Amino acid sequence: MNILLIGSGGRESALAWKISQSPLLNKLYVAPGNPGTAEIAENINISVSDFNGIEKIVIDKEIDLVVVGPENPLIDGISDHLLNAKGHKIPLVLGPKADGARLEGSKDFAKQFMERYNIPTAKYKTFTGDTYNQAVEFLKTLKAPYVLKADGPAAGKGVIIEQDFDKACAELKEMFDGKFGKSSASVVIEEFLSGIELSVFVLTDGRGGYVILPEAKDYKRIGENDQGLNTGGMGSVSPVPFADNIFMDKVENQIIRPTINGFLRENIDYKGFIFFGLINVNNNPFVIEYNVRMGDPETESVMMRINSDLVELMRSAAAGSLSGKKCLIDSRTAATVMLVAGGYPEKYEKGKIISGIENVKNSQVFHAGTASKNNNIVSDGGRVICVTALGSDINSALNTALDDANKINFDGAYHRRDIGKDLLKFTIK
C-alpha cells in the first residue's frame, strides 16, 4: 500500500516509525513531516490545511490510505474533502469527517453527546455573552475551583481553572469579549473533578467495530512534580498502573461502547482514532474531553507497545472491517521524555544545532519541532525531540530514556526527570 500521513510533530514521527515496519507498506509519504520522518519516509512540503494540494498528492502518488494526524484538518473537513473528490480513485481515509470531529471541535457538542448517552462527565452548562447573568448564577451553584472552557478549538489553551469567584466572573467576561476569538463566544462552565488523569485510545471503523490501544498518561506541566506552566506535553508513560482490568472494564462499558453506539445512532460514520481524556475519581472514570486523533506525547509511548501490524488495523478501520481484530500489546512499560527549548512554554529561540542523536542506542528518538539547515538538525519549535524507551517497569524505562536523553544536546535544552514517578505508588501492591 502507498500511505500518506498528514502532520509534522512527534506524534507523526512515532506513527511513521510504526507504519514503516509494516509488511503491507509499499511507500510512505508524510506531509509535511520533519527531519525524523525524512529518515524513514518521503516528506512532501505542503500545509496540512491545503486540501486541494493534498488531493493532488493522493492522485499523483497513487495513495491507498490517508492517515490524518492532527485535529485541525479533521475539524475543517479534510476527510469529507478527500472522500467526496470526483474523477479519481478514492483512497481509504483514517480520521473522522467533520460531523465526528465536532467531538473535539465543540466542547458543547461533546457535552451534549455525553449527556444523550449517559457517559460519565462533569456537570455543566453552556452560556454566551447574552446569558452572562445566568452564567454567573450557575457559577454560584458550583464550588471552587471554577472550570471555564471555550467551546471552540483554542490550540489547547481554551480551558481556564480559577480558584477565585470574582476572578472567574471577570475571566468569563473576557472570554465572551473574544479572549479566544470566536471560539469563546460560547463557554462551557463545568464542575471541577478531582483525580488522576489518563488517556485511553481506541481505533474504530464506523460500523461498531473497535480495538482498544495501550492507555497512557501524559505530563503537561513544564516543571517537575507538575509545577509551573502548561505545555504541549513533557513526556508520557504506558501502561498506567491504576488502569487495571476492573477500571478498564468500566471505561469500556460506561464510556467506549456508549460513545461508539452513539455514533451508530446518530449516523456519524467515525473511522479513526478516538482519544478519551479521562479522570479517575475514586476508581470511577469520567470523561474530561474527547479528541479525534492520537495524543502527543502519548503516541510515542503507545506505538512502542503495539505488537500488531498497525497498518493492518488502520486499513481495517478505514475500510469498516475492524470487527474481530485484536491489538496485541507488549507487556513492558514505555516512557517518553521530551527535550524542549530553554524558556518554553514562554519565549524561546529556534535554530539551535542538535548533536548526539547518533549516540542513542537503547531508546527510540522521535523528532517533534526540528528542521534541517546546512546539513545540521536544528530546533524549530518549543518541544524539540523526544526519547522513548521500553523497560520492565516505570523506573527502568525512565532511566533508559533519561540516559539517552542526556546524550542529545542543544543550547538551552531542558527535560523533566520525573516522568511516571507519581504512578509508582500504584505499582507497589
Contacting positions for ligand AMP (CB under 6 A): 122, 147, 149, 159, 190, 192-193, 197, 277, 288-289
- Report how far apart, in Å, the C-alpha atoms of 328 and of each of 67, 242, 289, 309 are: 21, 20, 26, 9
* Residue 192 interacts with, from ligand GLY, ligand AMP, none (CB under 5-8 Å by kind): ligand AMP
Residue nearest to ligand GLY (CB): 295
SS3 241: coil
Residue partners of 341: CB distance under 8 A and separation at least 6:
348, 349, 350, 352, 369, 379, 381, 382, 384, 412, 413, 414
- Report how far apart, in Å, the C-alpha atoms of 292 and of each of 82, 104, 236, 250, 382 are: 17, 6, 19, 21, 23
> How many residues in the shown chain lie near ligand GLY by CB under 6 A?
6
* Residue 233 interacts with, from ligand GLY, ligand AMP, none (CB under 5-8 Å by kind): ligand GLY
* Least separation in angstroms between CB 356 and ligand GLY: 26
> How many CB atoms are located within 10 Å of the residue 331 CB?
8
Per DSSP, helices labelled H in 34-127 are 35-38, 51-60, 71-75, 78-84, 98-105, 107-116
C-alpha cell, 252: 469500556
Query: Closer CB to ligand AMP, residue 191 or residue 403?
Result: 191
Residue 422 carries which DSSP code?
Answer: G
Query: Closer CB to ligand AMP, residue 122 or residue 303?
Result: 122
Quick one: which of 348, 363, 360 has its CA closest to 419?
Answer: 363
Query: Closer CB to ligand GLY, residue 75 or residue 357?
Result: 75
* Residue 99 interacts with, from ligand GLY, ligand AMP, none (CB under 5-8 Å by kind): none
Rounded Cα–Cα distance for residues 19 and 313 (Å): 11
* Residue 147 interacts with, from ligand GLY, ligand AMP, none (CB under 5-8 Å by kind): ligand AMP
* Residue 291 interacts with, from ligand AMP, ligand GLY, none (CB under 5-8 Å by kind): ligand GLY
Choose, by CB under 6 A, the member of 99, 190, 205, 296 that binds ligand GLY.
296
* Residue 329 interacts with, from ligand GLY, ligand AMP, none (CB under 5-8 Å by kind): none
Choose, by CB under 6 A, the member of 13, 184, 291, 336 that binds ligand GLY.
291
SS3 26: coil
Binding to ligand GLY (CB under 6 A): which residues in 205-234?
Answer: 218, 233
Query: Closer CB to ligand GLY, residue 85 or residue 159?
Result: 159
Q: What is the CA radius of gyration of the chain?
A: 21
Residue nearest to ligand AMP (CB): 289
Residue 196: strand pairing partners: 280
SS3 343: coil
CA atoms lying within 13 Å on the CB side of residue 17? 23
* Residue 422 interacts with, from ligand GLY, ligand AMP, none (CB under 5-8 Å by kind): none
Long-range contacts of 256-259, Cβ-Cβ distance < 8 Å, separation of 24 or more: 256/200, 256/202, 256/210, 256/212, 258/117, 258/118, 258/119, 259/113, 259/117, 259/119, 259/290
Query: Closer CB to ligand AMP, residue 42 or residue 224?
Result: 224
* Least separation in angstroms between CB 11 and ligand GLY: 7
Binding to ligand GLY (CB under 6 A): which residues in 228-287?
Answer: 233
* Least separation in angstroms between CB 226 and ligand AMP: 10
* Least separation in angstroms between CB 185 and ligand AMP: 17
* Least separation in angstroms between CB 49 and ligand AMP: 22
Rounded Cα–Cα distance for residues 106 and 255 (Å): 19
Our finding on whether 298 is near ligand GLY (CB under 6 A) is yes
Binding site for ligand GLY (CB under 6 A): 218, 233, 291, 295-296, 298
